[in-house]
Amino acid sequence: MNREELAGELRRLRIEARMTGTVTARVVGMSQSKLPKIENGMLLPSVTDVERLTAELSATRELRSRLVELARQLYTEAKTRRVVLHRGAQRHQQTVARIEARATAGRFFQNAGVPALLQSENYLRVVLNTLPPHEQDAARATLHARRARMDDLGKRYFFLLTESALRWRMGPASLMCEQSDHILSVATKPNVQVGVVPWTADANMIAVHGFQVYDERVVTLNVLTGNATITDLHDVREYLALFGRLERLAVHDDVLERISEDHRKLG
């Protein structure tokens, strides 16, 4: 039984009890506008709502127990599947820092720009330049604490970048060359792996945005107006599968050196 069926059962009980929506809403302490939304499946009732409705509408003990349990399951599922949107660079860094503190493995994919954990100081300065000064300082401090955690060899970091992300100019050639060198330096850590999906790869798929997966529990991603956190296990598995497909396209040779040399020529 799904959400629509729950709504239908509650509506059927009310009709069989020969009670109007107005009267039913009043006796269970519910607003008159809320009950029609519940009965039409537009609003998920709480467990308490279902308990009160089934009691007032004289549902059998078996049906009442079944509908209350269904409401509990649907409410839990809705809470689990939600995507939480965070606004502000500092708040996002703090949220991700808490997730990373518990995670033992992080998988990072970027198709536009360099992941925060791999950014050089000058690259980071450009990224944060659009924020007010006090927000820049707070976000930078939290990010530095996240980077320090990369020294923990009990944690593993897997980075995938598209070649276009590395070629996206965030400043002069000197900045981009420095950024490539910085990635190469971080990649020497024994618990860090960096791969690049070259533009020549026959991807045969579209990755519409960058994302980060922590263990097999949480996904975070950046959108235009904020940063989203996804905890639904089905959705997390979808991102893990996509990361796996992208990882099979990646190379780990001298691609960073070649991209750095191209930036240097343009400079």
Whether 158 and 57 map to the same domain: the answer is: no
- pLDDT reported for residue 157: 97
pTM: 0.68
Q: Give the pLDDT confidence of 34-83 residue by residue, as tens digits.
A: 999 899 887 888 899 999 999 999 999 999 999 999 988 887 776 655 55
- What's the CATH code of the domain at 73? 1.10.260.40
For the CA atoms of 55, 61, 63, 69, what is the dihedral angle to 10 degrees? 80
Question: Strand 156-162 and strand 226-230: pairing?
Answer: unpaired
Q: What residue type is assigned to position 88 of the chain?
A: G
- Boundaries of domain holding 158: 83-266
Mean pLDDT, residues 15-28 taken together: 93
Whether 222 and 253 map to the same domain: the answer is: yes
Tokens of 25: 């809403």
CA–centroid distance for 163 within its chain: 23
Whether 103 and 200 map to the same domain: the answer is: yes
Whether 16 and 92 map to the same domain: the answer is: no
